[in-house]
Amino acid sequence: MSERFMRLFEAKPGWTTPVIIESHINGLRTKDHNPNTPVGHEEVAADAIRCWEAGARAIHLHNSNIHLGGEEAYEDYMRTARLIKKHHPELFWYPTGTSATSDVLSGNEHVELLKQREGVCLSCVDCGSANLPFDIDEQGNIAGVTYAVPFDVLNRQVESCIRHDIGIIWGIYEPGYLRTAQQYIKRGRVTKGSSIDFYFFGDYGSVALPPVNTNGVPPTIESLYFYLDLMGDCDLPWFVSIWGEGGVDTRPFIKRVIELGGHVKTGLELFYDPDRNPTNVELLQEAQEIAREVGRPLASRDEAKAILGFVW
């Protein structure tokens, strides 16, 4: 066992910043996963507003069709954003990527438009490929999709963020994703506002209804130490996302994340348990309560700006 791993294992609670807790409102989940999942522009906007008012320091949205790109994707996002802005023009939100890539497109074109026209200043960059299962048949054959971001697309996404001064959220689905991100980061291919998002996967993963996940590492404290050890001396703010944990008690894991200075992403994009149907606000409040138990203060809006290193 490495000395750094042992230091993590033995580390007492300590942090230099308040904790940022985000709400991820919808994603690819449907009401089959949870009847409280917001669907459609009006429901998504209303849930985003509720979470913002309840103390979420960032709101992550998907539009209605992940296959849209460029101007079409921009306008679809804005159908939700315009509803939000009527009540909270200051609400900080950011989109996801798109599958609309090609030999010349990065899939980041809609983010560029959102930055230029609306001041949206964060982009998700998933630096790798993964098999994402969603079902299994009686013979044990798995059905799913391969989500792939090859290097040519990844390079264009990173370049887009650098050119337009957009913060990069490095999505870490697997250990190799982190090693890829580190190659860019140590060569200065990173922007202000950037952060690391460690994905931890339960048995239901990112889109499955049965417990057939094959992707990533589970939400255990040992997995957390592994990632932090692999992260080394990278000093970007880091977050955790827990996907499809089912009935597993993740409170000890979240508590340790908060104790060690990490930040937390919550919401129905991530959460699935066939026996429980919380709301986005309830998931946010559960994470807030763990932070209070730890004694780490919740970041104010201004403090969240300072932690991420930019002004919105």
pLDDT of residue 5: 72
Q: Is 50 exposed, middle or buried (0-12, 13-18, 19+ CB in 10 A)?
A: middle
Q: What is the pLDDT of residues 227-279, one digit of tens each?
A: 999 999 999 999 999 999 999 999 999 999 999 999 999 999 999 999 999 99
Q: How many domains are there within the chain? A: 1
Range of the domain at 31: 3-308
3-class state of residue 284 by DSSP: helix
Residue 89: CB partners within 8 Å, gap ≥ 6? none
Report the CATH number at residue 219: 3.20.20.70
Instruction: Give the C-alpha distances (Å, rounded to integers) separating 240 from 70, 120, 144, 163.
Output: 29, 22, 24, 27
pLDDT lower than 70: segments of the chain: 1-2, 310-312
Residue 30's contacts (CB-CB under 8 Å, 6 or more residues apart) are 37, 39
This prediction's pTM: 0.96
**What's the confidence (pLDDT) of residue 101?**
78
Can you give the pLDDT at residue 311?
52
**Sole residue written with tokens 């990069």:** 168
The whole-number pLDDT of residue 92 equals 95
